[in-house]
Structure 1
Amino acid sequence: MQHLTGNPFKRAGTMSAETANGPTEDQVEILEYNFNKVHKRPDPTTLCLIAAEAGLSEEETQKWFNKRLAEWRRSEGLPSECRSVTD
């Protein structure tokens, strides 16, 4: 079992006005930790647990991971999206 910060079954609360403009500082901390320590491309179950832990929807969490992965790939000198070897 992969380790997540805190209790993955505890919701951090409902969406606030800050969440509508992006994750709060605390939510970003949870997302960054999981991106760096757990997995850059979490499976659906792990994504669900991370979303619950951060108090975000699965859709918001997936979007954050997609953007963060593209940012990480660019920082590593890779294309922002993974393409097939025939492209």
Structure 2
Amino acid sequence: MKFINQRPYADPAVAARKLLEIANATDAVQDGRIHIEKINGHFLFKEGGTPEEYSAGLACAVANGWLSLHESGTYVKFTPAGAEMFA
């Protein structure tokens, strides 16, 4: 019988923190905006996360008040609580 290994980003809080690290390393364009494709591309293709883990992590980061997601879904911004995690 084969057992499946635990995925590194199965926990939404861990995925959210990884998304915050990626967003912190990404250059903001204007007014602190970070394009969402720069975050999800890195998470999905370089870190090996799944779309479900990405969605759960982003929802967790927004729910905890670390990131604010624009209503169009095209960019995120750090909130003061999220920015002080890297201060």
Q: TM-score, normalised by structure 1?
A: 0.40
TM-score by length of 2: 0.40
